[in-house]
Amino acid sequence: MSSLQTKLYSLEFTKALPLKSGAHFGPYTLKVETYGILNAKKSNAVLICHALNASHHVAGVNDSGQTGWWDNMVGPGKPVDTNHFFVIGINNLGSCFGSTGPMSPDPATGIPYGANFPILTVEDWVLSQSYVADYFGVQKFAAVMGGSLGGMQAIAWGMMFPERVGHCIVIASSANLSAQNIAFNEIARNAIMSDPDFHQGNFYAHAVVPKSGLRVARMIGHITYLSNDDMAEKFGRVLRRPTGAKQDYQFSFDTEFEVESYLRYQGDKFADYFDANTYLLITRALDYFDPAMDFKNDLSKAFAHMQANFLVISFSTDWRFAPERSREIVKALLDNKHRVAYAEIDAPHGHDAFLLDDARYHALIQSYFVKMQGECN
Amino acid sequence: MSSLQTKLYSLEFTKALPLKSGAHFGPYTLKVETYGILNAKKSNAVLICHALNASHHVAGVNDSGQTGWWDNMVGPGKPVDTNHFFVIGINNLGSCFGSTGPMSPDPATGIPYGANFPILTVEDWVLSQSYVADYFGVQKFAAVMGGSLGGMQAIAWGMMFPERVGHCIVIASSANLSAQNIAFNEIARNAIMSDPDFHQGNFYAHAVVPKSGLRVARMIGHITYLSNDDMAEKFGRVLRRPTGAKQDYQFSFDTEFEVESYLRYQGDKFADYFDANTYLLITRALDYFDPAMDFKNDLSKAFAHMQANFLVISFSTDWRFAPERSREIVKALLDNKHRVAYAEIDAPHGHDAFLLDDARYHALIQSYFVKMQGECN
């Protein structure tokens, strides 16, 4: 097993990106990290698309000592084996980890875009990602792969660039958000936007951050990433008893249960590093994704021109992106006689499962990529 | 069918209430509404316990034109038939509809209790309710009945006053909250407490209300009261299109989907009438309720001395108080050979179902109360 070969890029794009909203945006920078080596035929590239709070830093340990968000999946000898595949991670436009986003200075004014940053869609991201592929000379990805919102990008790749994707790997995702999911996003956005430190999105100028809103947003997210059973097992009704406490309950609104402590910790941590405008923007892109919309809500029609093979994976206890939502994707693909493999992994960890190290899940991805190697030679 | 006979009381209690926390609280007022006529033997009284945001006003239309929160359940000829039963509704201590609560003036200072109001438990409410029973000369309730948090009060009645309850009717409830439920409550409290207008609970003095926090709290609540399917059916991905809009999406963070509009409306409405401190207090009482805690988490041991008959009802799509949580109650009762009837109603409306007019549900309650009539004569 060789060591991980990593390269970091800041790619500048001067041509404005035409957005689904009708606006144009540019110039812009995309932060990109690659792993492994692109072969001579440029046929072994795999694009990994990230979800809400991740970035281009998919695997390995970076200069800040941070391990990549999908390091258990991508690397030498791992399911997506960088000894055989050239893996590209891109920080999506509008995110806050090096690509141009709401906190970047608007060249027209010299101050951060803030509320003036355009509202983006999954399709806008995919278009910008295609320019990254062009930069590397990758005409066709061996695979485009992602979980959750990343899975939506994989679907959009299959639709927008049917000839440029060999395999779409769609994990713990859906072809659109349910009303319940939109509702969770709306509440999170509401918490951020009603924080007085939000200043209509222009908080940078006030040298503050809407921390309370971000905390609440993240806490809501965390509940929906875990399964009910998982939370019961992890925390149950276990109390955090101060040393020497005489009674079981402290009768206060401070942290009393372990689960409260966990959520507050996660909320605080998130508020320290994530941009509030990026949170709004990415949840809105999630809400808006709905490829069937232009086809009178007929997903089968929307998928008619796909050429990629699909691997669709769901997790039994994922209630945010439930298996039935994955089966809708599978059905629409089968209606078109597209090739699709589907696995529903029995896993206790809810939506979070797509990021975790599950033996059956990883074995499945590994064998899928091993088969794919033959196609790249 | 005769008309509904309603009486309204403000009962003053001068003796301090000993609380589970060890504190004592008093004097206090309880707002009470009664329906129907107490018979000579005082054997036909039914106590209806309310959940988070309801009150003593259970049935009929009050002077403000408001219909009672369980008007479809209680009244002449209704499932809990006030032609035969004397029904008592009590606004719980700490609530904000006429009983003493955080917004009431502390006689010691003349200003609202605010953050100084004590933290209450389900057991404290039940004890205070027993004094209301004493006031009416009711030695034994024909039934104590409630849904959700109201069901927890019915359980506590059976445990604390086994000789004073004929039937405990526990609907859409559980013997304690799951970690996930505590988490939802914690986030709602966090949203309220981090609102700058909360002023550590003493917002009355500042003539403001933590509206943003209350809005978010209520929005979270609403998601958990409805089932995923119910939301899908009610709202789906339907858009609110401004008149003359040219495209489907408006590309903004304003209300875009019907479900967002619904949640914002519900949140605003709630923030206009509900007290923020009451919200904290009642959700904490929910968190704290755990009758098995003093019995090494053995619910069967906790239920050993119950004497009441039980009717336990759950709803198939209620994910906040799922049927499995009701079955835990039933099992613990059966372990003690207590008499219990259990029904799991197949209903699409999630936790909200206990408040809605469902034919099978109401027929079940009706026939249960008809049988009960014989015991009251």
pLDDT tens readout for residues B29-51: 999 999 999 999 999 999 999 99
Structural tokens at position A346? 């029995």
Whether A71 is catalytic is no
Q: Indicate whether B376 pLDDT > 90.
A: no
pLDDT the model gives residue A351: 97
Token duo for residue A51: 């979800």
Encode pLDDT of B86-101 as tens digits: 999 999 999 999 999 9
Confidence of residue A2 (pLDDT cuts 50, 70, 90): confident
pLDDT of res. A263? 96
Spell out the alpha helix ranges (H) of A146-257: 149-160, 179-193, 211-225, 228-234
* pLDDT for the residue numbered B243: 67
Which chain B residue has the Cα nearest residue A248? Answer: B293
User: pLDDT tens across A12-54, in order?
Assistant: 999 999 999 999 999 999 999 999 999 999 999 999 999 999 9
A5 near A37, Cβ under 8 Å?
Answer: yes
Could you say which of A148, A173, A314, A326 is catalytic? A148
* A218 touching chain B per CB within 8 A: no
Q: Is A36 on the interface with B (CB under 8 A)?
A: no
> Any chain B CB within 8 A of the CB of A288?
yes
- Residue A245 reports pLDDT greater than 70: no
How many Å apart are CA B329 and CA B299, to the nearest integer? 8
Q: Tell if the pTM clears 0.90, that is, is over it.
A: yes
What confidence score (pLDDT) does residue A1 get?
A: 54
Mean pLDDT of the residues in chain A: 96
Q: What are phi and psi of B13, to 5 degrees?
A: -115, 120
Residues A377, A370: Cα–Cα separation, whole Å: 12
Average pLDDT, integer, range A297-320: 97
Q: A92: which residues sit within 8 A by CB, 6+ positions away?
A: A49, A50, A99, A120, A125, A128, A282
- Scanning B153-192 for CB atoms below 8 A from A yields 176-180, 182-184, 186-187, 189-191
Average pLDDT over residues A220-243: 91
- The verdict on B245 touching A (C-beta cutoff 8 Å) is no
A280·B22 Cβ contact <8 A = no
pLDDT per position as a tens digit, A71-87: 999 999 999 999 999 99
pLDDT reading at B332 higher than 60: yes
Q: Does A204 score more than 90 pLDDT?
A: yes
**pLDDT (tens digit, 9 = 90+) per residue, B94-136?**
999 999 999 999 999 999 999 999 999 999 999 999 999 999 9
Each residue's pLDDT tens digit, B224-255: 999 999 999 999 999 987 766 667 899 999 99
B85 contact partners, CB below 8 Å, separation of at least 6: B36, B44, B45, B46, B142, B369, B376
Q: Do A187 and B228 touch (CB under 8 A)?
A: no
The DSSP annotation for A259-323 comes to: HHHHHHHHHHHHHHHS-HHHHHHHHHHHHH--GGGGGTT-HHHHTTT--SEEEEEEETT-SSS-H
Q: Which residues of A345-354 are buried (b: 16+ CB within 10 A; e: fewer)?
A: bebebbbbbb
Instruction: Return the percentage of chain A with pLDDT > 70, whole number.
Output: 99
Select the residue of A189, A219, A288 nearest B249 (Cβ to Cβ).
A288
Residues in chain A: 377
* Residue A231 contacts B, CB cutoff 8 Å: yes
Q: Encode pLDDT of B46-89 as tens digits.
A: 999 999 999 999 999 999 999 999 999 999 999 999 999 999 99
What was the pLDDT predicted at A248?
84
User: pLDDT class for B281, splitting at 50, 70, 90?
Assistant: very high
Closest chain B residue to the Cα of A279, Cα to Cα: B253
Rounded to an integer, the average pLDDT of A114-133 is 98
Residue A315 Cα, gap to closest chain B Cα (Å): 17
User: Taking CA atoms, what residue in A is nearest to B201?
Assistant: A253
Q: How high is the pLDDT of residue B246?
A: 63
Residue B248's pLDDT is 84
pLDDT tens digit sequence for A128-161: 999 999 999 999 999 999 999 999 999 999 999 9
pLDDT in tens, B341-363: 999 999 999 999 999 999 999 99
Distance from CA of B70 to the nearest CA of A (A): 26
